[in-house]
Structure 1
Amino acid sequence: MRLNKVVLMAGCAMAIGLGAVSARACEIKIGATGPMSGAATQWGLAIKGAADFVAAEVREAGGLKVGDETCQLKVVTIDAKYTAEGGAAAANNFVSQGVKFVLGPMGSPEVTGMKPITTRNKILMFSDSYARDAIGKRWPLTFHMGPGPAAWGDPIVKMAKEEFGIRKALTIAPNDQAGTDVAEVVAQVYENNGIPTKLEYYQRGTTNFAPIVTRIMAANPDVVDTVSTPPGDAGIIVKQLRQAGFKGAIGRLGGPGTEEITRIAGGLDVLKDFYWFEPVFIDDNVRALQKRYHELVGVEAPENNFFFLFVAGGRALAEAISNAGTYQDAEAVAQSLRELHVNDPNLGQGKWIGEKTYGIRQELSLPFGMGLIRNGETLPVRRSDAPTDE
């Protein structure tokens, strides 16, 4: 956020009439929600970590200037449990606590459960879901933290096709909205690059993928793409695929989690050939956030790279609140956010897109990375500029 929006101030006090009366400190509640338990816990903790960090930045600067007040951010964390029911419960909880702004959630079921409630109660939500209706004109207060694979998938598939000679692909994902929406989009990206693609689904909560692995082996694809499968599940799938003798590449056009997948699969030698989407291109400027997080929050930063993305979103939200001059009117803050020129000090220049895919420009696009492991060796992540609607 711009430094002129943050003022240094030790406390809030004001004189009224003949006596000095202590003023109640201005406090803005920022919700942080996502899967805080289960196989996708990394994603939820990344969102919480980002909210904690932005609040710490504001606190260190002395507060956020909002109209005539100087405010602090208070993070309210709720587990949305990666389900529509969990998302709805989280949204109702935020309503009961007077939360007007929310970072998260991640999963499409969570977002689906939250949107009607946040829209009805005028709560601005900065979510990250790859669902076909993640944002739209029906949801004017729902913003998208990073575009989906329809925007960034093409250069990654082109890279993988060149590196691994892919001729036939298979995607595997959970058989709910969080899985099917992403898998269908990713499959279309492969198809657009001349790669026939088969879609395979599994019941969320599965721990033994042997029957599915048998079907995958029979299909004989050159690559198995785990798309948005939670990292914990993806690691098991990779491990069982390799145990079954699968020699092809593993793709992941659905989000990060490489470290967790590698750990569960059994190491880089097991993972072997792997490529993935990194929502943020990690350079020294971005890594500095990890050190800064430890300095301000007192613990290590979340490992998942969605942390960096939501830091940029949280900073943009804080600046929009300051520019709007209100923390009570989410609609005014949303308009301020739409007009905001995002140039994050760590992640770089952002673009507002989404018109082509969703019919509304409320999707914050930032530079991203294309990760690659060949023969068990991690190669430098390749940078790509922020995707556009063009």
Structure 2
Amino acid sequence: MEGAVDEDGRGPSIWDDLCARPGAILNGDSGRVACDHYHRWEEDLDLMKELGFGAYRFSVAWPRILPNGTGEVNEAGLAFYDRLVDGLLKRGIQPMLTLYHWDLPSALQKKGGWQKRDTPLAMGDYAEIVARRLGDRVRMWTSINEMPCVIDAGHRHGDHAPGLRLKEKGVRQVAHHVLLGHGLAIQGIRAGCSKPPKVSIVHNPWVSIPFSEEKAHVDAGRHDFVENNDWLMDPLFKGSYPKKKLEALGKDAPKIERGDMRNICQPLDYVGLNIYAAHLMSHAHQGLIAYPKHHPRTHMDWPVTPDVLYWALRFTHEAYAPGDLYITENGCAWPDQVDGDGRVQDLSRVQFFQEYLRGVQRACAEKLPVRGYFVWSILDNFEWA
């Protein structure tokens, strides 16, 4: 989003490193310019006001604040977010701040990154630094964006930064440290804010849509939701890993130090859900059903599944009762074509939102505690590998 990867004291991130690796990114693209938001933030905010935004979710770049991950603070980095937050408030737009959107400072990765305990400890310090600076104006805070992408895409499959393919024990230790980083960040936010903050995490859970609303199919979908999400969500909301799964890992289980689970299971004011598509679950077929070949898909080859927002909100609430619920990301990619007068006739995207928002409307009608919905994203950005 920001670009300006080596300006005003910003240090390198693991995504800068991955982009520099030949063949790692399609077409050799990078985030060096991206949306150029660092230079064009004022006109971007003017667009938001023109569009009638009530809130804007953005991420702070850790290496812009702490170029070495820890230690000396980059004043120019904090000053940028001062301007951004003040600009949002001036336009009547509420900021929702995410502390970590995958751009770990390279200096921390060189020391082991999320494989090492020092990284979650550093995240707690980073969170408090940002909160002390912005906590008088920012009320809505989230710690980490999409833990599964950090853990699996970055450390199991190697598609995302830092591009590692660890064995099972290593992946489980990374997951534990990411969870710990979240918990310490929440504590850092609360310690640093001069006004009471609203704190959360943004998660992208696995969601299966029941084949029909017969009880057996709904129960199967709910069971599938818990079965595929409990490793990360149980520690957040229950303070422990699923016992049987932890025991089954044996020697691959993560090292858990005294106090870790208490630090991870911090009280949250809400939870953010990033939801795009879903699987289809049938009780009768005892598992997932493949979508037919003709089923509509976005340009990223994700199936269009409008009911997913309703079921994601419902299953999250039923399984964990985390408090207020926000859809913090939802959207679609299409092969947009600019017509003769410089406009995109965005009919496919308009239809997508009309259909998906019906699920949010239903959740609200059923009194689920839904408090907000965010589209991904305001601008076409550099979207990863």
The TM-score, its normalising length taken from structure 2, stands at: 0.34
Greater fraction strand: 1
Higher RCO structure (Cα 8 Å, ≥6 apart): 1
Larger Rg: 1
